[in-house]
Amino acid sequence: MALEILITDDHTLFRQGLRSLLESEGFQVAAEAGDGRTAVKLAKQLQPGAAIIDVSMPGLNGIEATKQIRHDCPEVKVIVLSMRSDSRAVLDAFAAGACAYLLKEAAFEEVAVALKAVLQGKTYLSPAIAHVVVRNSIERWSAKPGPMRRGISGREREILQLVAEGRSSREMAASLYVSMKTIETHRKQIMDKLNLHSVAELTKYAIREGVTSL
């Protein structure tokens, strides 16, 4: 596998060790850099297929270096290596344009897997920290003011779905074993809570929020 890689880390022994392992797997290391600014400069000059970058480096950290490399050389796939496993570091790296994020304690085999994944256009996240991103996504989703987080009750969600599916008040009343007046009351409450004013708006909202599908 002929692929030129740029290795950036401020520890010489780490760079040399990673270089040796990569070359033993058939990868070609184009250059090494000991800081972020040098990495950006070399990426522009060499246009490697991928760059493996440490987060913590002097002068210009790995996140900023990743951002600059991806801006100037969008074809370069950046794999971020870090000792940090907190959500801020992981999300900052991907926001900067990283294609993969691995912990420095990972086995070399995982680096090879990540390289192959990003070269196929995929995003790779170390399984050891996947839970960080999942947890953060859940927290953000929970904070989003969707239908289940705006005070909409379970029964109102049922009615919202039935409205979006084109059911009449009579059909909904029969399906839910309630009166048509109850259905109308619930529909008005839903509209008030969501600040929507027509069945068409309710339908669009329900589809957009995943309550029902087309």
Residue 6 has a pLDDT of: 96
Residue 1 has a pLDDT of: 41
* Same domain assignment for residues 54 and 13: yes
Residue 141 has a pLDDT of: 60
Residue 208 has a pLDDT of: 81
* Same domain assignment for residues 115 and 185: no
Tens digits of pLDDT across the chain (214 residues): 457 999 999 999 999 999 999 999 888 999 999 999 999 999 999 999 999 999 888 888 899 999 999 999 999 999 999 888 887 888 889 999 999 999 988 888 899 999 999 989 999 998 888 877 777 766 666 655 555 455 678 788 889 889 988 999 999 999 899 999 999 999 999 999 888 889 899 898 888 877 776 6
* Same domain assignment for residues 120 and 17: yes
- Choosing from 95, 128, 161, the residue where a domain stops is 128
Domain count, the chain: 2
Interatomic CA distance for residues 58 and 43, integer angstroms: 18
User: What region does 133 belong to: left with phi over 0, alpha with psi -120 to 50, or beta?
Assistant: alpha
- Choosing from 101, 128, 155, the residue where a domain stops is 128
* Same domain assignment for residues 102 and 46: yes
Domain that holds residue 106: 4-128
Residue 136 resides in a domain = no
Q: At what angle do helices 36-46 and 62-72 cross, to 10 degrees?
A: 20
DSSP 8-state assignment for residue 149: G
Predicted structure pTM score:
0.66
Residue 57 has a pLDDT of: 85
* Same domain assignment for residues 118 and 183: no
Residue 196 near residue 163, CB atoms below 8 Å: no
